[in-house]
Structure 1
């Protein structure tokens, strides 16, 4: 007869150290922290390069001097009034799209669930284009640019998300009612196609100056980014970050199956609605700032997940990857081509093959 004894505490190897502060505790993942630190450093380097490189090149040391309050009057004008708003807009928009993509993919358990594929970006585009082509005189500027376009994009994006949410509602396999992720993705793809047709119709009904401005906006461009376009997108990103931070445990629980999530005491439909609403707000305001940037919300969470090797889409890392992607695309569009390309052209060129990769990978998993 053999007896089993509990292992001595000294023989138990601690795989990951824990951090505790009162009632708060977390696991310290050193490789993940190192990866995030590298991403932050890369983001800062790209940010400095995006400000320094242009028709009038400024050394990075001088850029730091101007940001610290020094520099000549001409350098302060170029950096503070022209390039700094553009670089900050790229960071904010990329982070907002990456964050929105991480939330939607985590909730729907689908790597293809992103604001641009689910029709949310198309809904925001309908609202923004309707304001642009209806502004008169071929431009939406001043108060209209600061309030009208972001407000219309937000309202249209939220209305689109609500419509998709309601159309995806039904009975699940367990006999209960709720939103089925697979149905929501299919409905979103259909709504996206319909809304892009509405956008095309609005452009054909507009005057030539309005249609030209709307078409340029639809390519996704940072050329006209300024403080007025940055503020609404920054507000949307800030609110989404606060909600995501407050709902971190809930978001982690929603990555499990419905039964497990209910056992953990999470009200699935309520929490899904809150998180999806904040993701819609972030992506809609980001879209209103620079136009639709294809595949950023799709690719950023999946890249972050592979870099950190996490079971789910990491929220903060996804925001960092999104910011790095848009900043990098802006640098490429301005320095590697004879003309200044819209940044959306670069994100679409890179994101298209990545979408094909995800489709092939998802299909292989489904057939195994």
Structure 2
């Protein structure tokens, strides 16, 4: 372990960082990023308690804390631990995974519009899971497998179609948008050909919903996401060096092609795991990395702040989805509204900057 001033990463010169290094694994802790993450963690804790308190059976903060620490039994314990906590935990875990996935793609493609949903990977994961639902009415493990296969196949197709003496960010995004449109049409056709009950369930799930999420899905999904986050952390240093350009990264010994493919695989795996449990939750992976970068004031994309912002966004959107309308809404509807507004602002600001 050593403490020092960063010297090799663009935009971080003169900033105090703590580097925890253990053989092949290294974690950079920027001072401002640590403060930002601490503030976000406090906001997440407050939002989680509010979500656990609010519902048709209202509770006080003391009851919630007591139930979480084992001091409550009976109805209060069941409401907090068995009914509401799985949904809150799912929002936090899945939101963090989407934030990291978006950060990986935006750093890799050096484009703030590089989102798994925009470039078709989320649609591919949804197509794979949808086929499992409609054909075999599979278990959650089978949904995860179908979503992974669909997402990886889509990533491979987009990568191959976009390859012209290398893969450039804008070309991959344009190809991904086209593939996403084709897959969306395929998904619509599959739903129209399905039985009525299956079609209604699949259509509701397509909006992205945490309704009915169980501890089993949270535990399995959380375990898969944890496994996928480990290589993301291992690749973060190479990812930051690649933001300086492929030539500069190669001069530091980074194996560009291997790292690029590895980042795509990890990003797709994170997105597919979330999609298998809740359907495609749109725009969280687009918005979270950019908000995190602005809060931490870093030139490049950082994974940990993006995970915290993603968790807070998903939890806040799910709270609004449950309580803003007379009937609970899928969380994906709220994230589309918030993310669409952010996307419009981002496009407007980019257009003004280039004029």
TM-score relative to the length of structure 1: 0.88
Q: 2:294 matched to 1:293?
A: no
* Counterpart residue number, 1:281: 269
Q: Tell me which of 227, 232, 235 is aligned to 1:244.
A: 232
State the Cα distance separating 1:18 from its structure 2 match: 5.3
Using the TM superposition, name which of 320-329 and 161-170 deviates more: 161-170
Gaps of 5+ in 1: 1-13, 172-177
Task: Specify the structure having the higher radius of gyration (Cα).
Answer: 1
CA contact (8 A) 2:140 2:277 kept: no
Q: How many residues align?
A: 341
* Counterpart residue number, 1:41: 42
State the Cα distance separating 1:232 from its structure 2 match: 3.5
Tell me the alpha carbon deviations over residues 8-64 of structure 1, each in whole angstroms, 9 at most, x when there is no partner: xxxxxx954454778899876433322111001001111111122111112121111
Tell me the alpha carbon deviations over residues 307-353 of structure 1, each in whole angstroms, 9 at most, x when there is no partner: 11110111011111111001001111112211111111100011001
1:123-272 map, 5 Å:
123-135=124-136, 140=137, 144-171=138-165, 178-272=166-260
Work out the CA distance in 2 between the residues paired with 1:87 and 1:168: 38
* Counterpart residue number, 1:96: 97
Using the TM superposition, name which of 225-234 and 181-190 deviates more: 225-234
Work out the CA distance in 1 between the residues paired with 2:202 and 2:276: 11
CA contact (8 A) 2:122 2:271 kept: yes
Q: Tell me which of 338, 344, 353 is aligned to 2:341.
A: 353
Using the TM superposition, name which of 332-341 and 14-23 deviates more: 14-23
Structure 1 segments (4+ residues) deviating >6 Å = 20-28
Using the TM superposition, name which of 241-250 and 182-191 deviates more: 241-250
Q: Tell me which of 324, 337, 342 is aligned to 2:330.
A: 342
Work out the CA distance in 1 between the residues paired with 2:72 and 2:274: 32
* Counterpart residue number, 1:63: 64
CA contact (8 A) 1:96 1:319 kept: yes
Q: 1:147 to 1:19 in 2, by over 3 A?
A: closer
Work out the CA distance in 1 between the residues paired with 2:212 and 2:27: 43
Work out the CA distance in 1 between the residues paired with 2:320 and 2:234: 36
Q: 1:23 to 1:194 in 2, by over 3 A?
A: closer
Tell me the alpha carbon deviations over residues 43-89 of structure 1, each in whole angstroms, 9 at most, x when there is no partner: 11111111221111121211111111121211222222211111111
Other structure's SS at 2:164 match: strand
Work out the CA distance in 2 between the residues paired with 1:323 and 1:293: 12
CA contact (8 A) 1:125 1:218 kept: yes
Work out the CA distance in 2 between the residues paired with 1:16 and 1:125: 41
Work out the CA distance in 1 between the residues paired with 2:268 and 2:20: 34
Q: 1:273 to 1:21 in 2, by over 3 A?
A: closer
Work out the CA distance in 2 between the residues paired with 1:111 and 1:313: 10
State the Cα distance separating 1:111 from its structure 2 match: 0.4
Gaps of 5+ in 2: 1-12
* Counterpart residue number, 2:10: none
Work out the CA distance in 1 between the residues paired with 2:68 and 2:187: 40
TM-score relative to the length of structure 2: 0.91
Work out the CA distance in 2 between the residues paired with 1:228 and 1:282: 18
State the Cα distance separating 1:231 from its structure 2 match: 2.9
CA contact (8 A) 1:111 1:298 kept: yes
